């Protein structure tokens, strides 16, 4: 028999909602991940890895980053591996937000200052994307009239 409420969010035994990323806009997924970062709460994600297999991990999200090619990455501590991992947000198939706090220690930054771009809010992400897409790569002065639109 087919469940008449198949469009309803799936629920786990603990009562947390499993959210399918294919049924919501990417901005909703990013906003939920930011909420988990702000509240320091764990998230269980199902993601597709490089060879296309789906893997389930419970992670402690620390930050969202935008890569140079425009992909958004979730940087988080993986509870299974006990180490920092990066997950492409567009490869996340589903996720569950939990009310349980972090238990892993966040590793020290290994990226030299100025090389990595850390985005901690939706406003920063939007500003970063607009800056990358619309601002000139080099400074323009008034005497460079050939660059005027």
Residue 6: what pLDDT? 41
32 domain-assigned: yes
At 56-83, the pLDDT tens digits run 999 999 999 888 888 899 999 999 888 8
140 domain-assigned: no
15 domain-assigned: yes
> For residue 25, is it left (φ>0), alpha (ψ between -120 and 50) or beta?
beta
Dihedral sign (CA 124, 115, 66, 34): negative
Q: State the Cα angle at 4 between 55 and 97, rounded to 5°.
A: 35
pLDDT of 16 higher than 60 = yes
Q: Which tokens go with 11?
A: 């629920």
pLDDT of 118 higher than 50 = yes
What is the total count of domains within the chain? 1
Per the structure, the complete domain to which residue 27 belongs is given by: 10-102+114-135
For the chain, percent of residues with pLDDT exceeding 90: 34
145 domain-assigned: no
Single pTM value for the model: 0.62
Q: The domain spanning residue 62 has which CATH number?
A: 2.30.30
91 domain-assigned: yes
3 domain-assigned: no
43 domain-assigned: yes
5 domain-assigned: no
At 93-117, the pLDDT tens digits run 999 999 888 887 776 655 555 555 6
């Amino acid at each position: 028999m087919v469940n008449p409420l198949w469009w309803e969010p799936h629920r786990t035994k603990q009562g947390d909602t499993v959210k399918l990323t294919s049924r919501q806009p990417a901005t909703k997924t990013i906003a939920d991940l930011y909420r988990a970062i702000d509240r320091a709460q764990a998230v269980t994600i199902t993601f597709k890895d490089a060879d296309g297999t789906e893997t389930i991990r419970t992670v402690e999200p620390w930050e969202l980053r935008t890569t140079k090619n425009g992909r958004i990455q979730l940087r988080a501590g993986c509870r299974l591996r006990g180490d920092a991992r990066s997950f492409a947000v567009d490869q996340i198939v589903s996720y569950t937000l939990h009310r349980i706090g972090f238990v892993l220690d966040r590793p020290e930054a290994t990226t030299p200052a100025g090389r990595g771009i850390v985005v901690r809010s939706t406003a920063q992400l939007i500003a970063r994307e607009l800056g990358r897409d619309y601002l000139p790569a080099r400074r323009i002065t008034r005497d460079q009239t050939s660059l005027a639109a």
